[in-house]
Amino acid sequence: MTITEPTIEGPKTEGPLELESGREAIAERPLGVLTRPQGGRGWRDWLSTVDHKKIGIMYGVSAMVFFVVGGIEALLIRLQLAVPNGGVLSADVYNQVFTMHGVTMVFLFIMPLAAAFANYLIPLQIGARDVAFPRLNALSYWVWLSGAIFLNSSWIVGGGGADCGWFCYSPNSGVTFSPSHGVDFYAIGLLIAGIASLVSAINLIVTCLNMRAPGMDLFRMPVMTWMLLITQFLLLFALPVITVALFLLMFDRLFDASFFNPDMGADPLLWQHLFWIFGHPEVYIIILPAFGVVSEVIPTFSRKPIFGYTFMVFSGIAIGFMGWGVWAHHMFVSGIGPISVAAFSLSTMFIAVPTGVKVLNWLATMWGGQIRFTTAMLFAVGTVAMFTIGGLSGVTHALAPADTQQTDTYYIVAHFHYVIFGGGVLGLMGGLYYWWPKIFGFMLNERRGKVNFWLMLIGFNLTFGPMHILGLQGMSRRIDTYSSGFGFEFWNMVATIGSFIIAVSVLVLFHNIWKSKREAADLPPPGPDPWDARSLEWMVPSPVPEHNFDEVPTVESLDEWWHRKYSFDDNGKVVQIATAEEAAQDGSAKGVHLPAPSFWPLVLAVGLPLIGYGLIFNLWLCVPGGLLVGMGIFAWALEPVDDPDATHDHDGHDDDDDDHDDDGPDDAELAAAPAAPGDSTAGAPAAPGDKQGGE
Amino acid sequence: MTTETSAPATSDADTTVAAPATPGDSNAPGEDTAHGPSTGISNTKLAMWLFLGSECLLFGGLISTYLLYKTRRGPDNLAIPTDVFDIPFTSISSFVLLMSSLTMVLALAALTRGDNHGARVWLLATSMLGGVFIGGQVYEFTSFLREGVGFTNNPASSAFYALTGFHGVHVSLGIVMLMSLFVASWQGKLRQEHSETVEVVGLYWHFVDVVWIFIFTVIYLVPA
Ligand code: HEM
Ligand SMILES: [Cu+2]
């Protein structure tokens, strides 16, 4: 925050090297308009920010909004099914509601919530000041948001939501069976959101690989960072496949192509393969970030290092690879032939192995630890327990004969909610409680937090536990109602009650946030490290200053931050060598050069849904949309890069970098950014000429 | 990706510390300055490699679709692209595209030498060759349409136009990038120290060429 004061120093006449940050007027103005915004205050700051922390917060807030949207849809489903012959929703609307519930929860809630953690935490955990491409990061967020809004706008302008189920099988997805525009919005909305995730995946992978602090070897990265990195690789390779599928679907519906229409001689299985080649890795895209959270929370609150760090990382990588070889287990009854069924059945059973390894490692981490049952820890343990149940029911339908009975029943609904809600959502909730003080500078109240946890856990089990029974009794999924007399009444009522308990628990969460914020004024601030944690984000103040680290740390071991606080005495006993306050940075660095804000990512993102509406309603609308996108891209490219180091040349750099692989000071290229004359830090010896020799 | 590579000096580079070191600070001065890429590959180049990795699956999906559908004439038994292929013509335009990879290499080599004029000439040549290829594609599409192979005929023609069309869009975006570099060079903004930008655009260009070799083989050479 130190650089928000406008600097009043004299004109910058000496070219870009003299700029201290994005706050200054830029001498060069290509096209006459392209100065970079000053940041400013309030909403304008948020619209143009490129700070990974603010972008992370925006992802998180938007995800919670869509959690409420998807949650309301879920409650509508449960109200409809509470009693036989329910009359809350018509069959047609019911189809739209469960489809949009699934799509919203997966693409607009849990993925962006994971992206929130990825954005906020990856740079901090590897000791970086931002992601590799800050503007692209802003672009990802805005494009994702525009896709999300576009998708939901079909309720208003598209004649209703998509009604083809979240995996939108053909021929249901064709115009014959789905004549409203809902599926068009589904296809184009997910395409837009997919662009966002692809850009963000590239950005975060480069960040993880290239921006690590000196000494932060890959195998010193926290497990959370590892899991997020693997998730980004899965996105990188899974998204193009669904992109193809969605494009072809759009061509089919809007331009009369024949990719999926069996009447035209097309093969409806093509969609199923393309969808699930994406869709199964998607399951891991949802679950691995939660595994990452659990792997941070359990060691911290057991006061032990994670058991089998390398195992954890490699089992994550193994899941990442094996996740590509199991997709057709979603298609056992689609007629793919006995050999394929047998092969995919086997591969599916094998993928349970690395997952089991993780569960055992978490248990071993807790074993003999000094466990503190904070809210975050409760959520983490809950995640492990619920995910294990979901994993076990998953193994039951890895067996194709069993799956033939279970598929398309409520047993499947029970299974995947145990995995993505019990595993994914509970895990990320734990992450919310754990990192909240770091992000916002105050603690969430623990007592209310525990109420939140227990309500959610009980509500969750009441909702989805009975669905196993309903499924085995033969109740179909995606059915808008049922008659009395099948024995479905009791457990459906229980499930509906459970879903409202979940809703209350979410309200408790919001109440907790609001109340804790109000109480925070009277409480001592949490300090940099309220949980006595282990990774680098806890060595900077809470909330994190805009520049993250005063000084980029040099990393010497896994759990670096813990090792800065503790050591071992001669008998191998742990002794404290420094308090967190002593070892932490105080956030006082001034004049840190940060990337300047930009409005162009937002402009570009606004253009895309316009193109989408154009494709659906009137191609002329694509013109302004395309113009906005084109303008965004070109203005972006021409925007003065106020980074003094933007013109550096990497070829020269390689030569003097050979002997230290990720060490800092030898990188003369980036260091060529001495404080501008008259910089606010001018008091400090800015050491001009200090490091920029090698250019 | 275009946005990060289509003009020089656009990378959002790492952030740096100006110099918080105060006298008496235990840190060696400058110890906390930002450091270069941990892998030794620059951010932009790494990002392009990752993007191209992702693109492989995009084209993989489209090629598989074509392979699945290439002989499906639909219920009305309409014409499919294989009926009307003009292989000599497409071979020539494929050769033109291949040659453009060569000129791309020459452009990069010229710029790394510091030969701005040469770089400009080869950049222009590359985009012209790309343009010839696209012109060939437009000609091919229109003549196919005239001969009754429409996009909506049947799965085979839908798949053909989707696959080659996607590739055409990729080539066109590449041309836009090359022309942006050409204009930048013309304005004197593309100098030797920016050769990496050209290299990254070159990666994209070569990728698009290599993909075409696959597509050409699959569509035109492998017998039905
Ligand atoms: C408030 C808690 C939730 C409740 C009460 C709930 C309830 C339901 C029910 C009853 C169905 C089945 C609808 C049908 O087959 O007719 C369903 C489907 C689904 N839910 Fe949830 N759900 C909740 C949370 C979530 C979350 C957090 C996610 C994902 C992150 C999720 C993802 C899905 C998906 C993907 C479907 C499948 C939709 C389809 O069949 O196309 N749900 N949900
Ligand atoms: Cu699966």
Residue of A nearest to B60 (CA): A241
Q: Which atom of ligand 1 is nearest to the CA of A103?
A: 35
- The predicted pLDDT at position A694 comes to 29
- The predicted pLDDT at position A45 comes to 86
Residue B142 has pLDDT above 90, yes or no: yes
Contacts with B, A 451-480, CB within 8 Å = none
Q: Quickly tell me which residue has 């979240």 as its tokens.
A: A166
Q: Do A667 and B34 touch (CB under 8 A)?
A: yes
Taking the CA atoms of chain A, what radius of gyration do you get in angstroms? Answer: 26
pLDDT digits (tens, 9 = 90+) for B96-112: 999 999 999 999 999 99
pLDDT band at A691; cut points 50, 70, 90: very low
Over residues B146-158, mean pLDDT: 95
Q: Is A188 helix (H, G, I), strand (E, B) or coil?
A: helix
Contacts with B, A 195-234, CB within 8 Å = 198, 201-203, 205-206, 209-214, 216
Over residues A627-646, mean pLDDT: 76
Q: How far is CA A372 from the centre of its chain?
A: 27
Residue A98 has pLDDT above 50, yes or no: yes
| Count of alpha carbons within 13 angstroms of residue A152, beta-carbon side | 18
Smallest-distance ligand from the CA of A476: 1
Q: Which of B15, B18, B60 is closest, CB to CB, to A681? A: B18
Phi then psi for residue A307, to 5 deg, are -75, 125
- The predicted pLDDT at position A21 comes to 39
Share of chain A above pLDDT 70, in %: 86
Tell me the C-alpha to C-alpha distance, in Å, between residue A350 and each of A12, A140, A330, A336, B204: 63, 35, 16, 20, 38
pLDDT digits (tens, 9 = 90+) for A471-484: 999 999 999 999 99
Substitution candidate for ligand 1 out of A64, A92, A417 with most atoms within 8 A of CB? A417
Across chain B, mean pLDDT equals: 85
Q: Which atom of ligand 1 is nearest to the CA of A506?
A: 1
Beta-bridge mates of residue A476: A409
Atom 8 of ligand 1, residue of closest alpha carbon: A74
Nearest residue to A605 (alpha-carbon basis) of A192, A203, A202: A192
Residue of A nearest to B163 (CA): A244
Q: Quickly tell me which residue has 């309220």 as its tokens.
A: A530
> Lowest mean pLDDT: which of A20-24, A139-143, A285-289, A589-593?
A20-24
Atom 27 of ligand 1, residue of closest alpha carbon: A421
Nearest residue to A257 (alpha-carbon basis) of B74, B168, B59, B154: B154
Across chain A, mean pLDDT equals: 87
Over residues A523-527, mean pLDDT: 92
Residue B10 has pLDDT above 60, yes or no: no
Count of helices and strands (H, E) across chain A: 23, 2
Over residues A428-437, mean pLDDT: 98
- The predicted pLDDT at position B213 comes to 95
Q: Quickly tell me which residue has 């496949």 as its tokens.
A: A241
Structural domain span for residue B174: 43-221
pLDDT digits (tens, 9 = 90+) for A559-576: 999 999 999 999 889 999
Q: Do A241 and B180 touch (CB under 8 A)?
A: no
What ranges in A444-573 are assigned the alpha helix state H?
446-473, 489-520, 560-565
The helix or strand, by DSSP H or E, that contains position A566, with its residue range, turns out to be strand A566-568
Tell me the C-alpha to C-alpha distance, in Å, between residue A558 and each of A125, A228, A309, A371, A427: 11, 17, 9, 21, 23
- The predicted pLDDT at position A594 comes to 84
Over residues A296-301, mean pLDDT: 97
Q: Are A256 and B152 in contact (CB under 8 A)?
A: yes
Share of chain A above pLDDT 90, in %: 78
Residue A359 has pLDDT above 70, yes or no: yes
Q: Are A172 and A165 in contact (CB under 8 A)?
A: yes
pLDDT band at A39; cut points 50, 70, 90: low
Q: Is A574 helix (H, G, I), strand (E, B) or coil?
A: strand
Residue B190 in any domain: the answer is: yes
Residue A6 has pLDDT above 70, yes or no: no
CA–CA dist A210, B136 (Å, integer):
41
Q: Is the CB of A425 under 6 A from ligand 1?
A: yes
Q: Chain B: nearest CA to A7, how far in angstroms?
A: 15
pLDDT band at A593; cut points 50, 70, 90: confident
Q: Is the CB of A246 under 6 A from ligand 1?
A: no
Q: B77: which chain A residues are within 8 Å (Cβ-Cβ)?
A: none
CA–CA dist A95, A77 (Å, integer):
10
Q: Which of A133, A591, A637 is closest, CB to CB, to B7? A: A637
Residue B7 in any domain: the answer is: no
Q: Which position has the higher pLDDT, A657 or A103?
A: A103
Please tell me if residue B57 touches chain A, with a CB cutoff of 8 Å. yes
Q: Do A665 and B31 touch (CB under 8 A)?
A: yes
CA–CA dist A265, A380 (Å, integer):
50
CA–CA dist A657, B153 (Å, integer):
58
Residue B17 in any domain: the answer is: no
pLDDT band at A364; cut points 50, 70, 90: very high
Q: Are A665 and A643 in contact (CB under 8 A)?
A: no
Q: Chain B: nearest CA to A545, how far in angstroms?
A: 14
Residue A349 has pLDDT above 70, yes or no: yes
Chain A interface disruption, residue of B25, B38, B76, most A CBs within 10 A: B38
Which of the 8 DSSP states describes residue A553? P
Q: At B151, which CATH number?
A: 1.20.120.80
Angle, helices B195-216/B116-146, rounded to nearest 10 degrees: 30
Please tell me if residue B195 touches chain A, with a CB cutoff of 8 Å. yes
Q: Which atom of ligand 1 is nearest to the CA of A109?
A: 30
Residue A688 has pLDDT above 60, yes or no: no
Over residues A164-173, mean pLDDT: 94
Query: Which residues does A511 contact at the CB level (< 8 Å), separation at least 6?
Result: A448
Q: Is the CB of A178 under 6 A from ligand 1?
A: no
Q: Which position has the higher pLDDT, A130 or B23?
A: A130
First to last CA, chain B: 36
Q: Do B42 and A264 touch (CB under 8 A)?
A: no
Q: Which of A206, A554, A666 is closest, CB to CB, to B47? A: A206
What ranges in B26-154 are assigned the alpha helix state H?
43-69, 81-84, 87-113, 116-146
Residue A92 has pLDDT above 60, yes or no: yes
- Torsion-angle region of A510 (φ positive above 0: left; ψ -120 to 50: alpha; else: beta): alpha
Residue B149 in any domain: the answer is: yes
CA–CA dist A260, B58 (Å, integer):
18
Over residues A357-384, mean pLDDT: 96
Q: Are A94 and A80 in contact (CB under 8 A)?
A: yes
How high is the ipTM of this complex? 0.86
Atom 35 of ligand 1, residue of closest alpha carbon: A102
Residue A453 has pLDDT above 70, yes or no: yes
Q: Do A674 and B18 touch (CB under 8 A)?
A: yes
Q: Are A611 and A184 in contact (CB under 8 A)?
A: no
Atom 43 of ligand 1, residue of closest alpha carbon: A74
Q: Is the CB of A478 under 6 A from ligand 1?
A: yes
pLDDT digits (tens, 9 = 90+) for A531-549: 999 999 999 999 999 999 9
Q: Is A439 exposed, middle or buried (0-12, 13-18, 19+ CB in 10 A)?
A: buried
Contacts with A, B 118-147, CB within 8 Å = none
Omega of the bond leading into A171 within 30 degrees of 0 (cis): yes
pLDDT band at A196; cut points 50, 70, 90: very high
Taking the CA atoms of chain B, what radius of gyration do you get in angstroms? Answer: 22
Number of domains making up chain B: 1
Q: Which position has the higher pLDDT, A168 or A42?
A: A168
- The predicted pLDDT at position B169 comes to 97
- The predicted pLDDT at position A397 comes to 87
Residue A520 has pLDDT above 60, yes or no: yes
Q: Quickly tell me which residue has 């002997």 as its tokens.
A: A659
Chain A interface disruption, residue of B5, B10, B12, most A CBs within 10 A: B12
Contacts with B, A 484-503, CB within 8 Å = none
Q: Are A421 and A459 in contact (CB under 8 A)?
A: no
Model's pTM, two decimal places?
0.88
Highest mean pLDDT among A175-179, A435-439, A550-554: A435-439
- The predicted pLDDT at position A38 comes to 64
CA angle A656, A658, A659 (to 5 degrees): 105
- The predicted pLDDT at position B35 comes to 61
Residue A674 has pLDDT above 70, yes or no: no
Q: B23: which chain A residues are within 8 Å (Cβ-Cβ)?
A: 685
Residue A100 has pLDDT above 50, yes or no: yes
pLDDT digits (tens, 9 = 90+) for B130-139: 999 999 999 9
Q: Is the CB of A106 under 6 A from ligand 1?
A: yes
Residue B14 in any domain: the answer is: no
Over residues A32-61, mean pLDDT: 82
Return the structure tokens found at A679.
């910089």
Query: Which residues does A616 contact at the CB level (< 8 Å), separation at least 6?
Result: A158, A181, A184, A185, A188, A254
Q: A547: which chain B residues are within 8 Å (Cβ-Cβ)?
A: 15, 17
Domains delineated in chain A:
47-520 (1.20.210.10), 646-674 (no CATH)
Residue A185 has pLDDT above 70, yes or no: yes
Output the CA A101–ligand 1 centroid distance in Å.
Answer: 6
| Count of alpha carbons within 13 angstroms of residue B180, beta-carbon side | 25
Residue B33 has pLDDT above 50, yes or no: no
CB pairs under 8 A between A and B: 282
| Count of alpha carbons within 13 angstroms of residue A667, beta-carbon side | 29
Over residues A632-643, mean pLDDT: 77
Residue B5 in any domain: the answer is: no
